[in-house]
Structure 1
Amino acid sequence: MPAIHKILIANRGEIACRIQRTAQALGYRTVAVFSDADDDALHVKMADQAVHIGPPPVQQSYLNIPAILDAARRSGADAIHPGYGFLSENSEFARACELAGLTFIGPSADAIELMGSKRLSKIAMLDAGVPCVAGYQGAVQDDATLLREAERIGYPLMIKASAGGGGRGMRLVHNAEELPAQLRTARSEALNGFGSDELILEQALIDPRHVEVQVFGDQHGNLIYLGERDCSIQRRHQKVIEEAPCPVMTAELRQAMGEAALKAGRAVNYVGAGTVEFLLDNSGRFYFLEMNTRLQVEHPVTELITGLDLVAWQLQVAEGQPLPLTQEQVRLDGHAMEVRLYAEDPAQDFLPQTGRIEGWEPAQTSDTRIDHGLCEGQSISPFYDPMLGKLIAHGATREEARRKLLRAVQDSVLLGVQSNQRLLAELLQHPQFISGEFGTGFIPRHFSDHPCLHAYVPTAEELAIAAVLFYQAAASKHRAPLKGWRNNASVPLHYRLGLDEQDWTVQLLAETEGTFKVQTLDRSLDLKLIDHDERSVTLEIDGLRQRHACRLGSDQLWLFTHPGSLLLEDRTHEVIGSQTSVSTGTLKAPMDGAIIDVLVSEGSPVTKGQLLMVLEAMKMEHPLKAGIDGVLQRVQVKVGDQVKNRQVLLQIE
């Protein structure tokens, strides 16, 4: 195997940055690829060289195999690292790299092809003696067959896209009446996301733990496992918190799961980094779920408890070197925990968010690690997965790791787009999570109606800070001293501050030396401005001093609120009542995306809650429904149209 000199990373975002850090530290040159949407991305700035590969849609850029191979040729790269997602589990891409004389940093194309099919991999695992969940994994895919097999398996059951992952093309079905519609949706998502609408059916295990084993193989026949990760805290089958080791793991269970994972790897002569995922029930029985033939998003928790660099191992194995350790030499030290930071709004059913990163100040200490691909001023587009980065902490115990991670979540400043930051903090503080006794049903059970999933209501302190900052901005425009400027010392100013559809009144009286009296939400506060620049403000409210990161525009304020960001608007001079009602006859796009289905036509009657259109954004389908009963007067978009956030799609009278 020839030595590697220059590595092209066929990916974007945080994983592209993560791979570059190790590759560059080991002396390799790196090449980034980017679409039009990522022209200002951090992974592009970090690389030694970067090659533009196409417009934003993934099929024309990050899934465009000829464009990526051409980028490797033009840059002189001799190896390609696929990261995770995109082409990382595409056997055609692995073969194309080999034919082009490039080292593919991953397993063989045959292993990718077999394990990339949930249907074929499950058949192979049954043959290899790996325990599997009962289900249907046959080649016949018509509705009649699937309906018949569902009756045999029994309800509840899971529909899964055979080629899928990340929760796309996956549906939980409770009864036979739901099945036909859920099959249609799963097929559509699978075809759009993975290019195959093949499905499997499996018996649904109720509230199991999701435990995965990290395996690693080399080209000399060595295959070991590096402990396990618990990924049970999930939302819609997407992982939110991962940790290692599993809180309920025993030495005997770890060995049994590890040996089952090695059986899976040996069945395909596995080389490189891979993960064998299992479902673990309350009685200690475990079942094969799938094998991911790539580096996992959550690999950092394994790195922190083993002290290893898995990307460095990938590069060594790709160059033909043997594994650095034997199974007996693997040691697990302490506990590590990771959360995924997403650009999404939990108060809007986790709707992905787009926008511009106005502020990004990740909290980092010696025992925390933040993997991200963000820089201030960067745009978050609708074309890619909404995950922005990962926050990871290590401690001597699980509780120490949890406490450190909670502080990192609370202190990492993200301004410009809404995120799941408040939800992450609440999850980490929940007594059931702290106990370690939970399964995949944790979020649906304990957070179905949690306050952090509702529209945020600012506190009196936050409204007071906003009023003072808007006041200071007006003062600077009048070229007056920033502290104590006022028109009349005895006359308070009245502000109307807004967030989404809500407004709050704030009364502010400016006093000397930067002190203010503020009344809002039936409270009176004494506030003193200590320091203020374009990135932060330090204030003393009722004797308590604290710094807040912020970004102030002409009539908008992004304020960091420990944790999470808050966008407040100065609506003092707006006409009251100009806000649009939620139950309106105008349907607007909730975010940037593409229209993939229009189910109604002009002149047809519609009822409140009726599905009208389907919007695809950030690799997920979002149903758009009518807010009122009425008659459809005008449809302003068609299938295939790219739409902007708040763009009018149709009108109902």
Structure 2
Amino acid sequence: MIRKLLIANRGEIACRIIRTARRLGVGTVAVYSDADANALHVQQADEAFYLGPAPAKESYLDVDKVIAAAKKTGADAIHPGYGFLSENARFCRACEEAGIIFVGPPAAAIEAMGSKSAAKRIMEEAKVPLVPGYHGHNQDPGILEGHANRIGYPVLLKAAAGGGGKGMRRVDKPADFHAALDAAKREAQNAFGDDHMLIERYVVNPRHVEIQVFCDKQGKGVYLFERDCSVQRRHQKVVEEAPAPGLPAETRRKMGEAALRAAHAIGYVGAGTVEFLLDASGSFYFMEMNTRLQVEHPVTEMITGQDLVAWQLAVAAGQPLPLEQDDLHIVGHAFEVRIYAEDPDNDFLPATGKLLRHQPPAEDRGVRVDTGVKTGDEISVHYDPMISKLIVHGNNRREALAKLDRALQQYQIAGLRHNIEFLRRVINHTAFVNGRVNTHFIEDHEQEILQQEQQLRSQQCAAIAAFLQHSQTRAQHRSAPKADAFSPWHSGNSWRNGLTVWRSQRVEVHGKEIEIRFSGNEEKLQWQCSTAVDAQAGEISALHGQNMAIIDGRRLSYSSVADGNRGSVFINGEQVDFTVLPADIGESSDAAHGLEAPMNGTIVALLVEPGAAVEKDQPLLVMEAMKMEHTLRAPANGTVNQFFCAAGELVDGGSLLIDFEAETKQ
């Protein structure tokens, strides 16, 4: 029996492990960096241990520091979560040498699956179906190109030591091969310290279906059915569901048995996931095995009624699996979506900053939220920008999907860009509703779910007007004379005897400047906005203290939050962000021109020389942020006069990187 558990991770997975450990009566130890001193997982654990500076290499990825923390706190077991050290064989061995239980598979199993090329050879011997490809050691670019030509385009370049879409590139024609190889190797080296690549035939329009397996130290194993993780962007999963829509029972059984063969072939122990590509004919091919708990494990828990972390702790302590294969059954349907701090309409650029509001929907038996943040926390450049996971369960797929959409409407996040509206577009798309998913779903339906022009509606205008009126009233109250608090002349609402006084405020919404006019007070407010698509004027009557309003005869709830001149209002399941603009005092002259950093990050490479003439969309530099590479491109034909950064330099979001001069039209 494990008495005290150190969680060698952070964020939502650390909080999720703590929740199960507390239920089982197991003591918990959190670890943290400078960036996480006040994090939720630190607050929830029984005790916490400081590891070091914010960069993961100096804290969460430092094996010696984590082992020392376990020894000093008396932890007899370490749960690595996922990411960080979860698939690090050296860390697993260090735990064993220190006499600490590692909640995961043996080091040999991690090593066997840690190299994608070695894993392919093992799977071939275990008669697990494989995609045709090259998994050899020779990494000469010419040799790799030759194998790509032999396999046939399109091909997929994959980092042999990788995961999570890092170091992965699709190549559609021979002319693109070397540029893609260079980019994939560079990203793999940065993410894993290993740029060894393998090549596979790119399966057109496949589904990504993975099998959850569990094995104990007595040599027994079970599979807890499948998860469909087909909806992805940049090989990062966006929506996961269980069971996979439309999967025949016989295919499920064959995939489950193949996954168990894969696990037994490497002497696996604990929770693992075997990932397959499933084509339209029903054939499936081994992709990789993740030797850890998966991010999307909650959907499996929802349909089986099992706590996989509890299973992990029991198996790690030497206990047999709690259930046999015949005892496991699928009940209902579950979805999980990942709530990210990112801008889907701007190439999914990660967002950093303070969470002015983080208000998830209420949890119940059918709605679950796994998160590691709260209102007031910072989303840092140092770690993955995931805010939370939203998981729902229903009696069937349609019921679960309706619950998911409702929960997304109730989710309120303010202070930075996020992907909630994007997720709603995805799950409400007709193809998704009907279960027609594949790994190119987002690309195939880009016009419907990406870069939609957002229109301002009357209820949103009304809520902004109420916010502006309240803000101005508070400001006027603060500046009004205190002599007579009950005098209407000092009421702060611009009251005038016998007159209706209209106030006007310019705000920026969806990148457009609009004017909202309003008159009255919080009990009865009139508003006008010429840009609202469904009404130009109306009234809003707030019920004091209840965040309720009556708009055009409809009673709706609304709320708002602000930081300086930026604000967000939430009404009827919709969010609109706006910026209050200063009074227009004339045009200013600004001769500055250049390209700024879209986020905090590290410069990886400068791709052109100063003074170079470039074409629109030509890559100018590559920067790395939140574990992904991002390319800054020329906004127009022009000249790169000067760089204000160098490779390896850490830059702040908004800082000027390139002195760029657009070509003057004749």
Q: Tell me if both proteins adopt one fold, taking TM over 0.5 as the criterion.
A: yes
> Cα offset for 1:484?
8.6
Any conservation in 2 of the 1:273–1:295 contact (CA below 8 Å)?
Answer: yes
- Which residue in the other structure is 1:507 paired with? 517
For 1:574 and 1:53, the matched residues in 2 are separated by 50
- Which residue in the other structure is 1:540 paired with? 550
> Cα offset for 1:160?
0.7
Q: 1:279 aligns with which of 277, 280, 285?
A: 277
> What one-letter code is carried by the residue in structure 2 that aligns with 1:570?
V
For 1:82 and 1:649, the matched residues in 2 are separated by 38
For 2:330 and 2:608, the matched residues in 1 are separated by 57
- Which residue in the other structure is 2:594 paired with? 586
Q: 2:62 aligns with which of 55, 59, 64?
A: 64
For 1:512 and 1:318, the matched residues in 2 are separated by 60
> What one-letter code is carried by the residue in structure 2 that aligns with 1:289?
M
Change (3 A) 1:119 1:633: same
Q: 1:645 aligns with which of 627, 640, 653?
A: 653
- Which residue in the other structure is 2:664 paired with? none
- Which residue in the other structure is 2:440 paired with? 441
> Cα offset for 1:633?
3.5
> Cα offset for 1:525?
2.7
For 1:564 and 1:37, the matched residues in 2 are separated by 32
Change (3 A) 1:549 1:513: closer
> Cα offset for 1:232?
1.0
Any conservation in 2 of the 1:413–1:549 contact (CA below 8 Å)?
Answer: no
For 2:188 and 2:317, the matched residues in 1 are separated by 35
Q: Deviations over 1:460-511 (max 9, x none)?
A: 4323322331222111222278999225542322211014642111222326
Change (3 A) 1:578 1:361: farther
Q: 1:305 aligns with which of 300, 303, 311?
A: 303
2:534 corresponds to 1:526: no
Any conservation in 1 of the 2:462–2:540 contact (CA below 8 Å)?
Answer: no
Q: How many residues align?
A: 646
> What one-letter code is carried by the residue in structure 1 that aligns with 2:393?
H
Q: Deviations over 1:309-349 (max 9, x none)?
A: 00000000010000001111112111111111111101111
For 2:128 and 2:174, the matched residues in 1 are separated by 30
- Which residue in the other structure is 2:605 paired with? 597
- Which residue in the other structure is 2:430 paired with? 431
Change (3 A) 1:575 1:288: farther
Q: Deviations over 1:419-460 (max 9, x none)?
A: 1101111111111111112211211111x1236534644334
Q: 2:628 aligns with which of 616, 620, 627?
A: 620
- Which residue in the other structure is 2:505 paired with? 495
Which piece of structure 1 moves more, 600-609 or 409-418?
600-609
> What one-letter code is carried by the residue in structure 2 that aligns with 1:180?
H
- Which residue in the other structure is 1:26 paired with? 24
- Which residue in the other structure is 2:33 paired with? 35
For 1:512 and 1:410, the matched residues in 2 are separated by 26
> Cα offset for 1:518?
2.2
Q: Deviations over 1:558-586 (max 9, x none)?
A: 223565643211114155666999xx831
- Which residue in the other structure is 2:570 paired with? 560
Runs of 5+ unmatched residues, structure 1? none
Any conservation in 2 of the 1:595–1:640 contact (CA below 8 Å)?
Answer: yes
Which stretches of structure 1, 4 residues or longer, exceed 6 Å deviation after superposition? 480-484, 578-581
Change (3 A) 1:575 1:199: farther
For 1:426 and 1:623, the matched residues in 2 are separated by 26
Any conservation in 1 of the 2:459–2:571 contact (CA below 8 Å)?
Answer: no
For 1:578 and 1:374, the matched residues in 2 are separated by 41
- Which residue in the other structure is 2:421 paired with? 422
| RMSD of equivalent CA atoms | 2.1
Corresponding residue SS for 2:244: coil
Within 5 Å, give how 1:185-584 maps onto structure 2.
185-363=183-361, 364-446=363-445, 448-450=446-448, 452-454=450-452, 456-479=454-477, 485-488=493-496, 489-499=499-509, 501-510=511-520, 513-521=523-531, 523-531=535-543, 537-561=547-571, 563=573, 565-575=575-585
> Cα offset for 1:591?
0.9
For 2:523 and 2:178, the matched residues in 1 are separated by 69
Any conservation in 2 of the 1:6–1:76 contact (CA below 8 Å)?
Answer: yes
Within 5 Å, give how 1:153-172 maps onto structure 2.
153-172=151-170
> Cα offset for 1:110?
0.6
Corresponding residue SS for 2:323: coil
Q: Deviations over 1:566-619 (max 9, x none)?
A: 3211114155666999xx831111111112222344444444323222111110
Corresponding residue SS for 1:196: coil
Q: Deviations over 1:281-323 (max 9, x none)?
A: 1111111111000001111111111110000000000100000
Any conservation in 2 of the 1:161–1:186 contact (CA below 8 Å)?
Answer: yes
Any conservation in 2 of the 1:211–1:229 contact (CA below 8 Å)?
Answer: yes
Any conservation in 1 of the 2:522–2:541 contact (CA below 8 Å)?
Answer: no
> What one-letter code is carried by the residue in structure 1 that aligns with 2:560?
C
> Cα offset for 1:32?
0.9
> Cα offset for 1:356?
0.6
Any conservation in 2 of the 1:515–1:528 contact (CA below 8 Å)?
Answer: yes
Q: 1:127 aligns with which of 125, 128, 135?
A: 125
> Cα offset for 1:527?
2.4
Any conservation in 2 of the 1:279–1:286 contact (CA below 8 Å)?
Answer: yes
Change (3 A) 1:451 1:305: closer
Any conservation in 1 of the 2:476–2:492 contact (CA below 8 Å)?
Answer: no
Provide the identity percentage: 46
Corresponding residue SS for 2:185: helix
Q: Deviations over 1:60-114 (max 9, x none)?
A: 1111111211211222211110001111111111111111211100000010011
Structure 2 length as normaliser, TM-score? 0.93
Corresponding residue SS for 1:471: helix
Q: Deviations over 1:109-137 (max 9, x none)?
A: 01001111111101110111100000110
